[in-house]
Amino acid sequence: MKVTVKSYTPLNVIKDAIRTCWDSGEKSDDLGPKDLELIERVGLKYKHSSTLEHCVFNFYIEGISRLCLQELARHRIASYSVKSTRYTLKELKNESYFLQEYDLETQHCKPQISELYERASKYIVFNGNNKIDMASIVALDNLITLLNSGFSIDDIKYALPECYKTNVFFSINARSLRNFFELRNSKSAHFEIRNLAKEIYNQLPEEFKFLFKDLF
C-alpha cells in the first residue's frame, strides 16, 4: 500500500478554535510553545476534542484490499471516493492466465510461485498464508474467464474476491483520526488496516504528530 497526504488544514486553525472558546486570542504566540502546549492540554488532556474537528486531512491511499476498504468505511465521520472497479477489471481482462497448473493440496505450481506473486500483486493483496494466497490467484483466473465470456463488468463484480486491490481518496478530521488510530493500531485489529493506520501516521506532517503520538 501507499499513502500520500494530498492536503490538510493548517494547525493554527485548532489554535484559533481553542482560543475562541477561551477568549484568549491576544495571548497567542503564533504556534510557539504556548500555543502548542495549549492545544495539547485542551484538545488532548482535557478532551475538549471538538476543537480538533476543524482540522481535516486528505489522503490518497493506493493498493488496499476491498476487505480493508470495508473496515476503513466503518469509520463513518469521514469521506470516501473509491476507484471504480470497472477500470481495474478492464486492466485484468488483458492479462493472460496466472496459473497453468496448480494443486491446492500439494502446492505444486507452474509457473514458479515467486513469478505468480509478482504478477498477481498488481491486482490483489496477499494474506501471507500460501494456500489462501494461491486460492486468491485462482480467483483472478476465474475473473479472466468471466471477462472474456461476454458478461457485463457490473455482473462480474459479484465474483470479485475480498483481496482485490483498490484506491481511495480519504478525508477525515483530527478528532475522528484519533478514534481511527485508537481502534486500528491495536493488536486485535486486522493486520492490513493496522498497517494502514501506521502508514497514515508515518505520512502525517511532523507538526501534527504530537496530536496522535500517545496512540502509537
184 counts as catalytic: yes
Q: According to the 3-state scheme, what is the secondary structure of the chain?
A: CEEEEEEECCCHHHHHHHHHHCCCHHHCCCCCHHHHHHHHHHHHHCCCHHHHHHCEEEEEEEEEEHHHHHHHHCCCCEEEEECCHHHHHHHHHCCCCCCCEECCCCCCEECCHHHHHHHHCCCECCCCCHHHHHHHHHHHHHHHHHHCCCCCHHHHHHHCCCCEEEEEEEEEEHHHHHHHHHHHCCCCCCHHHHHHHHHHHHHCCHHHHHHCHHHC
Q: Which of 19, 175, 178, 184 is catalytic?
A: 184
Active site residues per annotation: 184
